Chain A
Amino acid sequence: MKLAYWMYAGPAHIGTLRVASSFKNVHAIMHAPLGDDYFNVMRSMLERERDYTPVTASIVDRHVLARGSQEKVVDNIVRKDKEVTPDLIVLTPTCTSSILQEDLANFVERAELEANSDVMLADVNHYRVNELQAADRTLEQIVQFYLKKANKKGELPEGKTETPSVNIIGISTLGFHNQHDCTELKRLMADLGIEVNEVIPEGASVHNLKNLPRAWFNLVPYREIGMMAARYLEAEFDMPYVDITPMGVVETARCIRKMQQVLNQQGADVNYEEFINNQTLYVSQAAWFSRSIDCQNLTGKKAVVFGDNTHAAAMTKILAREMGIHVVLAGTYCKYDADWFKEQVSEYCDEILISEDNGEIGDAIARIEPSAIFGTQMERHVGKRLDIPCGVIAAPIHIQDFPIGYKPFMGYEGTNQMADLVYNSFTLGMEDHLLEIFGGHDTKEVITKGISAGSDLNWNKEAQAELNKVPGFVRGKVKRNTEKFARERGFSEISLEVMYAAKESVGA
């Protein structure tokens, strides 16, 4: 057992549902107790979805516990088949069905005989994988299912498309800014003269999956979802894939160069150098921003980055490599894929933190006292408590992270959005100086910061008055550093003298 207040990645079935409901006309049936269909609420709320979420539950109740599901699951599948005539029904196990150990595969076989749609059992185990791993696996499973089916029927289309083409794999519902990223990637492909063959799973029809092998290569923009499908397509159809996330100026260029290489190997003869150069220097504003005097003020400022693999790794590289910001700590909650993360960021940060424990991350932030945090909604709340600004770069996310306006994180427009996000998260340069010169404009009382610690030290009147003169946004830091200094040297009261001594010693 684990005491937990918060979790970064959801349970496995959420991943399966995200993939299933991203496809058009695919229905998921959860084998779950009443109340587990919370996914529908999230999709309806966060994505502001106009259509009913194609997810229903085959309810597990007391009777099921006593006698097994028996006909119930099969009946529910057949019923849904009649009601909404989906192309595919995905039977989705939950934590409950994982321990009931009912023979769901058998239900699927029986339902298949009666239903017009295809029926499939999602191959995910609640206790072994999380939301992201399950999504990755389910996508592979569906792709595999339809390619095998087409192969069997002899319906696999021959050969490649005439002009270079790509499948974009891994865009899904409830993914962080996925819709905007998808639009931006399509735009990028159009600029590069690459035809988009299929985008999966978002908005795709399972009937089109047989066309996947017609693309020249696959692009997997997110590390978490799509890699398994891409590897399957590589193994089975000899399709190369590009798994460099085009996030940030340097990485976008690297991704484009890799695509160029992959295409040229297949005889395309393309050269994107001119395009990259033009975009980087004159179209995207990010490179120019890095050079501008605004960004100078960010030099050496401390930042902490935490999130999923894709976004945390990309952000760390952008901050360190493109903006000269000092990333003290970069971390991910994708424990199962930690090696990849370490390899990606090790040269761009001082420390790496691999953890699913929010308390640990909160404490690390309190210890480091960065000028800005780039993390999930949870880190944003840590930042609120510590009075440190936070830019949200990864799920878990709230409704405000599903903006209506166009906000991609990928491609060249994405670099602009990132620059804004970074710049707006730090206290603005001039404001910073002016506050120091004029002693700050806020008169907030000092509150004890740090994730849990209270203060046991007395500040005498003069020292307290002096402390109050320190600008609000650094006051907590000065206070903590002074107290740390006093504690180490055994002072019980903090006077002006102690305060100045501390300042000299630690540069508070």
Chain B
Amino acid sequence: MTTDQTPQSLEFECETGNYHTFCPISCVAWLYQKIEDSFFLVIGTKTCGYFLQNAMGVMIFAEPRYAMAELEEGDISAQLNDYEELKRLCLQIKRDRNPSVIVWIGTCTTEIIKMDLEGLAPKLEAELGIPIVTARANGLDYAFTQGEDTVLAAMAHKCPKEAPKVEAEKEERNAISKLLNFGRQKEDVAAEESEYVDHPPLVLFGSLPDPVVTNLTLELKKQGIKVSGWLPAKRYTELPVIEEGYYVAGVNPFLSRTATTLMRRRKCKLIGAPFPIGPDGTRAWIEKICSVFGIEPKGLDEREAHIWENLEEYVKLVRGKSVFFMGDNLLEISLARFLIRCGMTCPEIGIPYMDKRYQKAELDLLEKTCQEMGVPTPKIIEKPDNYNQIQRIYESKPDLVITGMAHANPLEARGINTKWSVEFTFAQIHGFTNARDILELATRPLRRNNSLKDLGWDKLVKEEAKV
């Protein structure tokens, strides 16, 4: 709880935690696509499998590099030997898919029966000759996107500790750099290097689609900042080197464990910045990184102004309207901050879990944005209670509710515009360029319902729900 009680400071509350969200094992769906040589093995029950199969819809059919190790009664009652069972399945995976890493996703069941995955992994790793990463992404402890956080925190341990020695591998490296720079003059390559300011190595963490990675990397390059690596990289074998003293910065608000691991275990320095979501966030993110490296950012004013100019047709639609976040994916603070900057008001931000240290800069920016836009600061509700929230929605009648699919159709049937929150997780929303996509999503219900507004089809349930 913030002790600073100025009228505009943020208010935090905590409810019952009775809310709808995805199980954190859903992270395998985007992580297996991101890390191309991985295989994700979810060690759990039919319940987990059923969730994945239904939540991932069509993706399941494109030869997924993930599977369930479905626990049977014999596993639960320890009639079967965990080690032998996992060995059998992992051998099968090795034979059929030959991945560079197998990621074990621990679930509620493995927690309850206390299956020692962290203990079994190194032994089996040695026997199989494939690295095994263990992540406990279970519904007992985490919500939705936090699943990625547990996987990346586990992977942070596996990043190489030091850059390959230049002398020992000089020739090979030359060969590679020759290959990479093939056809270009040595001077050009040198010139390219000189585009960067001399600063300590920076590694970014958070899984983003490759085009967004390129985009953000180039954005920093414009400021002379070199991104030494990303956690995760496209392939497990390309995990970035992380040495003591490296700087790291997060690109997503749900990565607090990863941040903690990088700071405490890998002795990195965390750049606490707002997240590059929306042009305001992207600018603040870049500015913060620049300031840490003592760089004077250039051209950001114009860049941001230009983006806002292009967004005007969308911003028009939301200006003066209100948005209510029910909360399920931890992107809520950043999205609310961006939408408030677009001219919206926000009575409530629900969020599964609020790390006030990791999100400090983002929270500060939210507060500042509210002051600058002259709107009241939102109430931040940690572990919300969906039932109570729905009563509050009925009372305050927001113009837009960002919510999970369990509530979207029932709310629409009662004449309340909704946007499915999960889409923000899968859409490309980072950086200057993708700000349009956020608004494209956020305004879609408003645009659609605009075209229906004269038909008198607002309320499509006979009686109002009991309050």
**Do A and B interact with each other, yes or no?**
yes
A contact set with B: CB distance below 8 Å: 1-7, 10-11, 13-14, 32-38, 40-42, 44-45, 48-53, 56-57, 59-62, 65, 76, 83-85, 94-96, 99-100, 126-128, 130, 381, 384, 396, 398
Given the known A-B contacts A1-B75, A35-B51, are A40 and B112 also in contact in the complex, defined by CB atoms under 8 Å?
no
CB-based contact B409/A50 at 8 Å: yes
* Per-residue A-contact encoding for B10-35, CB less than 8 Å = 1, 0 else: 00000001101111110000000000
Residue in contact with B68 in the complex, picked from A5, A95, A99, CB distance below 8 Å? A5
Residues from chain A with a CB closer than 8 A to the CB of B142 are 34
What's the least CB distance linking B422 to chain A, in Å?
A: 9
* Per-residue A-contact encoding for B76-99, CB less than 8 Å = 1, 0 else: 100010000110110011000000
List 14 A–B pairs whose Cβ atoms lie within 8 Å, in order of A's numbering: A3-B69, A5-B67, A7-B46, A11-B45, A35-B143, A38-B51, A44-B406, A49-B409, A51-B410, A61-B17, A95-B45, A95-B108, A127-B73, A130-B46
Question: Which 8 interchain pairs have the tightest Cβ spacing?
Answer: A35-B23, A33-B139, A40-B406, A50-B413, A11-B46, A95-B45, A35-B139, A1-B85
Given the known A-B contacts A41-B405, A61-B17, A398-B57, are A94 and B47 also in contact in the complex, defined by CB atoms under 8 Å?
yes
What's the least CB distance linking A278 to chain B, in Å?
A: 39
A6's nearest neighbour on chain B, judged by CB, is: B53
B460 within 8 A of partner (CB): yes
- Beyond the given pairs A40-B406, A99-B113, 17 more chain A to chain B contacts, judged by CB atoms under 8 angstroms and listed by A's residue number, are A1-B69, A1-B89, A2-B68, A5-B67, A6-B53, A7-B50, A11-B47, A33-B23, A34-B23, A41-B404, A51-B410, A51-B461, A52-B390, A94-B47, A95-B46, A96-B109, A130-B46
What's the least CB distance linking A91 to chain B, in Å?
A: 15
CB-based contact B60/A5 at 8 Å: yes
* Contact-residue size bin, chain B (C-beta under 8 Å from the other chain): 35 or more
CB-based contact A60/B75 at 8 Å: no
Residues from chain B with a CB closer than 8 A to the CB of A61 are 17, 140-141
B147's nearest neighbour on chain A, judged by CB, is: A35
Residues from chain A with a CB closer than 8 A to the CB of B109 are 95-96, 99
Q: Which of A34, A381, A398 has the most CB of B within 10 A?
A: A34
What's the least CB distance linking B288 to chain A, in Å?
A: 32
What's the least CB distance linking B62 to chain A, in Å?
A: 9
B64 within 8 A of partner (CB): yes
CB-based contact B409/A3 at 8 Å: no
Inter-chain CA distance A48–B408, complex, in Å, is 10
Inter-chain CA distance A35–B54, complex, in Å, is 13
Inter-chain CA distance A84–B466, complex, in Å, is 7
Inter-chain CA distance A44–B49, complex, in Å, is 20
Inter-chain CA distance A227–B68, complex, in Å, is 32
Residues from chain A with a CB closer than 8 A to the CB of B54 are 38, 41-42
CB-based contact A7/B49 at 8 Å: yes
CB-based contact A38/B23 at 8 Å: yes
CB-based contact B53/A59 at 8 Å: no
B88's nearest neighbour on chain A, judged by CB, is: A1
What's the least CB distance linking A43 to chain B, in Å?
A: 8
Given the known A-B contacts A11-B47, A38-B55, A44-B408, are A127 and B72 also in contact in the complex, defined by CB atoms under 8 Å?
yes
What's the least CB distance linking A396 to chain B, in Å?
A: 8
Interface secondary structure of B, over-half rule: helix
CB-based contact B70/A4 at 8 Å: yes
Residues from chain A with a CB closer than 8 A to the CB of B408 are 44
What's the least CB distance linking B457 to chain A, in Å?
A: 12
Residues from chain B with a CB closer than 8 A to the CB of A45 are 405, 409
What's the least CB distance linking B118 to chain A, in Å?
A: 17
Residues from chain A with a CB closer than 8 A to the CB of B50 are 7, 10-11, 14, 38
CB-based contact A65/B46 at 8 Å: no
CB-based contact B69/A126 at 8 Å: no
B116 within 8 A of partner (CB): no
B334 within 8 A of partner (CB): no
Inter-chain CA distance A32–B387, complex, in Å, is 17
Inter-chain CA distance A99–B142, complex, in Å, is 20
Residues from chain A with a CB closer than 8 A to the CB of B140 are 33-34, 60-62, 65
Given the known A-B contacts A35-B23, A38-B55, A50-B460, are A62 and B67 also in contact in the complex, defined by CB atoms under 8 Å?
no
Residue in contact with B21 in the complex, picked from A34, A52, A100, CB distance below 8 Å? A34
B311 within 8 A of partner (CB): no
B61's nearest neighbour on chain A, judged by CB, is: A381
CB-based contact A4/B112 at 8 Å: no
Inter-chain CA distance A375–B303, complex, in Å, is 55
What's the least CB distance linking A79 to chain B, in Å?
A: 9
Inter-chain CA distance A94–B50, complex, in Å, is 13
B124 within 8 A of partner (CB): no
B441 within 8 A of partner (CB): no
CB-based contact B405/A44 at 8 Å: yes
CB-based contact A3/B17 at 8 Å: no
Inter-chain CA distance A42–B47, complex, in Å, is 14
What's the least CB distance linking B55 to chain A, in Å?
A: 7
B80's nearest neighbour on chain A, judged by CB, is: A1
Residues from chain B with a CB closer than 8 A to the CB of A84 are 466
CB-based contact B143/A96 at 8 Å: no
What's the least CB distance linking B1 to chain A, in Å?
A: 21
Residue in contact with B17 in the complex, picked from A13, A59, A100, CB distance below 8 Å? A59
Given the known A-B contacts A41-B406, A49-B409, A99-B113, are A13 and B465 also in contact in the complex, defined by CB atoms under 8 Å?
no
A52's nearest neighbour on chain B, judged by CB, is: B410
Given the known A-B contacts A51-B461, A85-B466, are A35 and B410 also in contact in the complex, defined by CB atoms under 8 Å?
no
What's the least CB distance linking A129 to chain B, in Å?
A: 11
What's the least CB distance linking B138 to chain A, in Å?
A: 7
What's the least CB distance linking B79 to chain A, in Å?
A: 12
Residues from chain B with a CB closer than 8 A to the CB of A49 are 409-410
Residues from chain A with a CB closer than 8 A to the CB of B46 are 7, 10-11, 95, 126, 130
